[in-house]
Structure 1
Amino acid sequence: MAASSCLLFSFIFFIVSPLPLSWSSSGRSVTFGEYTRSSDQNFSLGAVVDYSSRAGMEEGIAMRIAVEDFCAQASGCITLHLKNSRGNPSRGAHAARNLINNRVRAIVDLGTVREAASIAEIGNRSKVPVLSLASEIPSWVSWKWPFLVKAAHSQHSQMEAIATVIQSWRWRKVNIIYEDDTGSASSTITLPSLFTALQDAGIEVNDLLALPPSSEYYSLSEKLDRLRRGQCRVFIVHTKVKLGVAVFREAKDMGMMDSGQESVWITTADITNYMDTLDPTAISSMQGVLGVRTYFPHGTKKLKDFSSRFKSISQARGSIHKRNVEPGIDALRAYDAVWALALALKNAPVGAPSTGGRETSNKVGTDSTEGQALLDNILSSSFIGLTGQFKFVNGSLEPARTFELVNVVGRAYREIGYWTKGLGFSKGIDENSTYNYSMSILGPILWPGGPWAIPRGWVIPTKGNKLKIGVPFGNAHMEFVYARYESPGANLTVTGFSINVFNAALMQLPYHVECEFHAFNGTYDSLVQRVYSKEVDAVVADTAIVANRYQYAEFSQPYSDSNLQIIIYVQPTTFGRAWLILKPFTSSMWIATIFVNTLCGFTVYVIERMHYKDVFRGSVLNQTIVMLTLTFTTLFSLQGRKLHSNMSRIIMVVWLFVALVITQSYTASLTSFLTVEKLTQVDVTVESLVRDRVQVGCDRNSFVVKHLEGIGFRPSNIRTYSEDDYTRALKSGEIGAAFLESPHARVFLAKNCKGFTTAKQTVEVGGFGFVFPKNSPYLPDISEAVLRIAESGTIRDLENSMLNSYKCASSEADSNQQKIGIESFLGLFGVAIATSVVCLVLFVLHLGSDNSSDVSNDKKKTEC
């Protein structure tokens, strides 16, 4: 440990020593030190480096190699002056002022955003370009300090890569752990970029955990415990590497990365770029972590040569841990920055002669024309560096488009693939690579706790926030949503078709959502507005998707038909065909017909039996059969036997008239049953209803009222009803048609299956959908889930179950209305019965009178 400290101190002393150190490269002198006079001041540049960090030491070595390479390849050489800021912005500003006083023509700033701001102010006053390698610098800086050049690739696309990773696995909520340092780019610039990327991907930020840079003033375990007690298990760690390692160690000790936690941990480039520098204990606490890091071309000859020389110098100086001396991204950026400045200095115009390293007037630095020309040269730079294409666009280095994805496994990490803006994920980045927006193309990933199963990203919390769902109270169509309290003080009970569909959709989600229902009175428009005012998180009901409601909320994929049905009242004609011949008459009609026929036949039999003694002989059964046969053959055929009595003829005339009417009525009714098909669609249109000013009905508190007015109906011709009133209103002719949404219409027809039907024409509307706030992270998944259950037939089964629960109460009554009843023939039957009875009485009286006469005549003959 002491030896390492001694070596580190020796290296720092070597860097900051005021005595110059020179070495020869192709016959040219390259000098490092506080400041060294050069024979050609026009080719001098300065750099402010933080040698108290590993990154600063790497950057110093990289810049040394860049100067050496440039002097070996170019026709001129440069002198590089290094100053140590020790991570202090004030020291950095003082170092920059010192460099400018000593006539450097450009400065490379390798510090933080705060340090870049202080140096930029000095460079802007002195017209000296300052190249900053700070990861993110606000866009407004270019307006305030034109001579500050952002020479680090913008990492905004990195946030899009992270959002795409989360979206690929369909996690809809994330927790963000970030370093709350007001001077860092993480909290001021890149964090808003992360929010924007997540929002664009439909991902909700569940919780934000801000951690100060130093953990000595707070308990990290207490901070993390708040996230551990929640439901969301997707964590984005956006901190510096030192704080990030502390977070992972604490999370592991708290069991937040164990098996069964369903957790996902994702690191940004601020951590992932420095994984090579981590010790084994830090790596062991990060098992299963997925990281996004800055991409640079691997395997190029230039990079291999640079890496070899970098290792040689690092090992010789003992400045880097011997465990890993590979150059990091900071070293590559420093090399490219020096190379860009060297090229710009080579082509810049020669300025005023040196003043001997001292300020001679208030004007410090270079001539403004010279400085502007050098700035223009820098901004026009374009070459292939160690980090890839080095080119400025609109005053900033071209943003990074490709990032590498790594997965911590075992004692190190493995590269699993790449993400490219506009293309998606791929295993490689050559021209033959296959791209996909699903991360599954990269193969299996080791997640925290292992094995390779994809974590859900959520757990059921002991005390978690539930989704507040609004439902209508006192809904007119209770089959869809029926909210009620079973008893005073009891919990709200909600049932219905819409609720069943919503629950089925929730079962399709890749994460768990707990809901609690809240009932509200009022119109559906007011219920939708409650989503807008954030009183509820969603509305589940038979809510129609209409345009004017989109100003308050958004809708899921419709789960019902999207049209209005026109319900009208007709006379249905379809019955069972097995006993169709009995259908024209009611049971009472058949009984009355048989009774009257038997009565008439019996009367004729009694009157005529004396004239057909040869026929009416034998047993009672035989005489009864003969009587019925005689009755039917006489009544229904002209071939019947001859009648002898006038009373028989009177009965027969009356009965034949009754029989004629009955048979004709029966024939007409039976013909109708046999030939007329059931009316399923009627030639009724919206245009005809509007033209004829027909009274129409629709639901109360429904959007249909305004919709009907919009398609031409007069307000005076529109009446509103509850569901139970339509039957009466249509049958009585109070309204000629009713406009119901298709699902409501199907329920109505299931309840009133006889006498009602739909017109052929329909009116297009949006259908039923679930209501969510605008940009809700749940909406895409709910819509996809609705499509899934629709395609699987689940919605159809739920609807059939709802409709099958109703037995048409009006079917028997409507069927009887089509039959001919006895009430229609009471007069005829009365005449027939009266005639038969009168004739029978007269016959009996006449027969008694004849018998008396015969008895008198017999007595007289006897007396004689």
Structure 2
Amino acid sequence: MFYLALFLVSFHVGVMSDDVADHTQSKSIVHIGAILDENSPEGAIAETCMSMAISDFYALYPHHWTRLVLHTTTANDLGSTAAAVVDLVKNVKVHAILGPQIPDAAPLVVEMGAKAHVPVISFFPTSHSLSPSKNPYFIRAAQDDSFQVEAIAATLQRFGWHEAVFVYQDTDFGNGMISSLVNALHEHDIRVAHMSAIPSAAGDFHISRELNMLMTRKNRVFVVHMTSSLGSRFFALADKAGMMSEGYAWLITASLSNSLKAMDSEIVDSMEGVLGIRSHVPESKHLKSFNIRWKRNLHLMNPNSSVTEHSIFGLWAYDTIWALAMAVERIGVTDFASLGSSRIGPRIVKEILSVKFKGLSGEFHLVNGQLKSSALEIFNVIGKGERVVGYWTPDKKISRKLYSSASNNDLKKIIWTGDSTEVPEGSAISKLRIGIPVKVGFKEFVDHKKKNVYTNETACSGFSIDVFRAVLEVLDFKNISYEFFPFENEKGEMNGTYNDLLSQVEQKIYDVVVGDITIVANRTYHVDFTLPYSESGVTMLVPVTHGKHIDMWIFLQPWRWDLWVAVIASFVFMGIVIRIMEHPTVNTAFAGSRNRQLGMTLWFPFSALAIPQRELVVKDWSRFVLVIWIGFAVILMQIYTASLSSVLTVDQLQPTFDSVNKLRTKGYKVGYQNGSFVKGFLMEQLNFTESQLIPYETIKEYHDALTKGHKNGGVAAIFDEIRYIRVFLAEYVSHYMMAGPIYRTDGFGFVCSSLSFKHIIQFYSDLISFHT
């Protein structure tokens, strides 16, 4: 009978309309309003589906005592939406409102509906933050967006992507997705590398600028959460920017996926290779019959429409009308007009929440004020259409077939952007180009050999190279492929200075520079550095003079003259103190003539140390002072003995120069490492003239120049970083030493472009652990 009734409806629309009109004379009329944008594809689809739903329902149930009357109002912004709500509530006196179509307007409509006790039922995308549990007059007759985040996370994990960029519409609708998506990805060990917010009213220039910024990032996996109006413009511009080419991966959420069939075919064609998540609609005879009639009705109602297929929003709209018609019928024979919206609204909410039936979109069952979630489809955009490649369910997760007995975590073959069948790597950099300096000397830091004739790759070694490889190994970047490129000219020599090498990164010739690169302020304006991995500082290297000259007066060298004077004075002072304390007593040692007493005063401190067992004093206080004196004297003797031993056994090394000011003012020549920033440092910071500076490259050249000295064509000192000087001193430790002040620098760091391979800066935050 059900299908027979629908068949009769399709061929006897006029007759049925007259019958319904006659019945309506004695039925309870229930006015409902719908706020749509009839100029949009989704609006046209929803309006057609709701009209068909009313016709189909009362054709099947002609004897129901209630009749829904639909009042459709057009609104495409917040202002017109608010005016539409006021008109529907105050003038039309509707008992329920369907919509709105604009996600940003949903909170306003719900708030206004709650004040009038009018239920608001939405089958369009709305923000997850707009919860039916907190808004008793709001019903979401669609799946909540938060349900799909688990499917998105499982899909990203399926292809081994550990980072993704989230591009969303900068509204409550888009922002409401952030927290649930981030949490779901975190549980699958996937990081949101960047979030790009695009306003609903953004112009093409703004979108293109944002796309250009995204192109500079190394991430190539994007999750897009937008409505169809913004999403269609976004992907058209993404295709124009070249971001729909091979290597990119795009995943669109249900809000855009569910509208794909209503979008312009040219836009859909530009989205080839995109993966989408959308609600699954089970096949049924009722749905097949509806599809045939829908196309005919759409052509009759909107002959100029470019829409050729309906979307799930239309199916939800259809099912919502049926659920609302069942709910008002359950209320019974009531004069809805006399009761008013404020009294009938709570009863409509209660009844519609208890309605259950099998609709066009599947099982219609509201749980906690929103449609119960079911399976999700994973589809692939191919050409101007799409192909389902798998499904996701909460229990089976990802599976190729929906009703298979077990999940195999597999999907059908996918055509990716750029007409590629290879799964994108997820990163813009497949192989790093690493520049290294070409060094004549100090190869302990960086050294390279000629390219291997079989692999055509350069073999590199040295401290800096070892640190770089160790960090990649420890910090889980083992799969990053890279190749070293020496910065050399045709002669195999360094092709300029270190600054010239860094400019290659700025020009994007190299992705990274690894080597003994010092972090200097003016370099940071052009490139980014990692944290330092070596000690820092610039000082000078000078020859030493040997300070050991043994002669008859060497016993005086342990103490300086002022210390000798202080010791002798303390001896005399001690003698005077003891003499004053002992003179009034019977101690004959301090009696006699003045010369004898003076002699005893000077001799007593020495005799107390030489003959400590002899009773020299009588009074107790004198003995106390004598004990303190003996203790002090013993300490002095131990210090003297140790110092004299050092003088007699150790060669005393003294720098030939320890004053930078003397080197500069006397016009002495000094050396520096060729190509280093030290030349600029000597001229700008220490005020040396360029004529005083001589460049050197190897350890041997350092040694020869210092051996000759500034009078014989060499130099008086060499200025370099402490790291290089330590390497030099390891070979010539007995002839040279560091002298003068240490001028602090930031140490060695690795270099990357400010626009490429940015995650080097992140994982090199642990480089401090590799300090030596």
Q: CA deviation at 1:319?
A: 4.2
Match of 2:341 among 357, 366, 371: 366
SS at match of 2:341: coil
Corresponding position of 2:292: 308
Q: Does residue 406 of the first structure (1) align with residue 379 of the second (2)? A: yes
> How far apart, in 1, do the equivalents of 2:389 and 2:531 lie?
38
The 5 Å alignment of 1:226-625 reads: 226-259=213-246, 262-297=247-282, 299-319=283-303, 321=305, 325-352=308-335, 354=337, 365-366=340-341, 368=343, 370-398=344-372, 400-430=373-403, 432-436=404-408, 438=409, 441-460=410-429, 493=464, 495=466, 499=470, 502=473, 506-508=477-479
Q: CA deviation at 1:266?
A: 1.6
> Is the 8 Å Cα contact of residues 167 and 222 (structure 2) preserved in structure 1?
yes
> How far apart, in 2, do the equivalents of 1:240 and 1:497 lie?
45
SS at match of 1:29: helix
Q: Does residue 72 of the first structure (1) align with residue 59 of the second (2)? A: yes
Q: CA deviation at 1:392?
A: 1.6
CA deviation map 1:668-721 (0-9, x unaligned): xxxxxxxxxxxxxxxxxxxxxxxxxxxxxxxxxxxxxxxxxxxxxxxxxxxxxx
Q: CA deviation at 1:516?
A: 8.3
CA deviation map 1:809-858 (0-9, x unaligned): xxxxxxxxxxxxxxxxxxxxxxxxxxxxxxxxxxxxxxxxxxxxxxxxxx
SS at match of 1:414: strand
> Is the 8 Å Cα contact of residues 35 and 75 (structure 2) preserved in structure 1?
no
Q: 1:231 to 1:249 in 2, by over 3 A?
A: same
Q: Which amino acid aligns with 2:364?
A: F
Q: CA deviation at 1:456?
A: 0.7
Q: CA deviation at 1:129?
A: 2.0
Q: Which amino acid aligns with 1:415?
A: V
Corresponding position of 2:708: none
Q: Which amino acid aligns with 2:354?
A: S
> How far apart, in 1, do the equivalents of 2:334 and 2:280 lie?
38
Corresponding position of 2:173: 185
Q: CA deviation at 1:230?
A: 1.8
> Is the 8 Å Cα contact of residues 407 and 415 (structure 1) preserved in structure 2?
yes
Q: Which amino acid aligns with 1:447?
A: W
> Is the 8 Å Cα contact of residues 38 and 79 (structure 1) preserved in structure 2?
no
> Is the 8 Å Cα contact of residues 257 and 448 (structure 1) preserved in structure 2?
yes
> Is the 8 Å Cα contact of residues 174 and 234 (structure 1) preserved in structure 2?
yes
> How far apart, in 2, do the equivalents of 1:234 and 1:133 lie?
30
Unpaired stretches in structure 2, ≥5 consecutive residues? 1-12, 435-443, 448-460, 484-510, 517-528, 534-758, 764-772
> Is the 8 Å Cα contact of residues 234 and 265 (structure 1) preserved in structure 2?
yes
Q: Which amino acid aligns with 2:145?
A: Q
> Is the 8 Å Cα contact of residues 26 and 72 (structure 1) preserved in structure 2?
no
> Is the 8 Å Cα contact of residues 35 and 74 (structure 2) preserved in structure 1?
yes
> Is the 8 Å Cα contact of residues 30 and 79 (structure 1) preserved in structure 2?
no
SS at match of 1:507: coil
Unpaired stretches in structure 1, ≥5 consecutive residues? 1-21, 356-363, 466-483, 519-534, 540-777, 783-864
Match of 1:157 among 135, 138, 147: 147
Q: Which amino acid aligns with 2:390?
A: G
> How far apart, in 1, do the equivalents of 2:284 and 2:58 lie?
21
Q: CA deviation at 1:311?
A: 0.7
Q: 1:151 to 1:434 in 2, by over 3 A?
A: same
Q: 1:498 to 1:257 in 2, by over 3 A?
A: closer
> How far apart, in 2, do the equivalents of 1:517 and 1:393 lie?
62
Q: CA deviation at 1:376?
A: 0.9
> How far apart, in 2, do the equivalents of 1:449 and 1:115 lie?
37
Q: CA deviation at 1:310?
A: 0.9
Q: Which amino acid aligns with 1:396?
A: Q
Q: 1:165 to 1:372 in 2, by over 3 A?
A: same
Q: 1:517 to 1:383 in 2, by over 3 A?
A: farther
> How far apart, in 2, do the equivalents of 1:511 and 1:347 lie?
71
> How far apart, in 2, do the equivalents of 1:264 and 1:153 lie?
25
CA deviation map 1:17-63 (0-9, x unaligned): xxxxx9553864269xxxx9964345443322221212111111111
CA deviation map 1:42-97 (0-9, x unaligned): 54433222212121111111111111121122231513231313223333333333
Corresponding position of 1:121: 111
Q: Does residue 86 of the first structure (1) align with residue 78 of the second (2)? A: no
> How far apart, in 2, do the equivalents of 1:124 and 1:23 lie?
39
Q: CA deviation at 1:313?
A: 0.8
> How far apart, in 1, do the equivalents of 2:515 and 2:183 lie?
31
> How far apart, in 1, do the equivalents of 2:332 and 2:134 lie?
25
CA deviation map 1:781-828 (0-9, x unaligned): x9xxxxxxxxxxxxxxxxxxxxxxxxxxxxxxxxxxxxxxxxxxxxxx
> Is the 8 Å Cα contact of residues 172 and 204 (structure 1) preserved in structure 2?
yes
> How far apart, in 1, do the equivalents of 2:366 and 2:513 lie?
51
CA deviation map 1:706-764 (0-9, x unaligned): xxxxxxxxxxxxxxxxxxxxxxxxxxxxxxxxxxxxxxxxxxxxxxxxxxxxxxxxxxx
> Is the 8 Å Cα contact of residues 42 and 262 (structure 2) preserved in structure 1?
no
> Is the 8 Å Cα contact of residues 241 and 274 (structure 1) preserved in structure 2?
yes
> Is the 8 Å Cα contact of residues 404 and 419 (structure 1) preserved in structure 2?
yes
SS at match of 1:199: helix
The 5 Å alignment of 1:85-104 reads: 85-101=74-90, 102-104=92-94
Q: 1:460 to 1:325 in 2, by over 3 A?
A: closer
- Higher Cα Rg: structure 1 or 2? 1
> How far apart, in 1, do the equivalents of 2:195 and 2:305 lie?
35
Q: 1:185 to 1:511 in 2, by over 3 A?
A: farther
> Is the 8 Å Cα contact of residues 29 and 68 (structure 2) preserved in structure 1?
no
Q: Equivalent pairs: percent with the same residue?
A: 28
Corresponding position of 2:161: 171
Q: Which amino acid aligns with 2:157?
A: Q
> How far apart, in 1, do the equivalents of 2:75 and 2:382 lie?
35
> How far apart, in 1, do the equivalents of 2:397 and 2:82 lie?
42
Q: CA deviation at 1:353?
A: 6.3
> How far apart, in 2, do the equivalents of 1:538 and 1:306 lie?
68
CA deviation map 1:186-215 (0-9, x unaligned): 2x3123322222222211122222222234
SS at match of 1:405: strand
Q: Does residue 206 of the first structure (1) align with residue 193 of the second (2)? A: yes
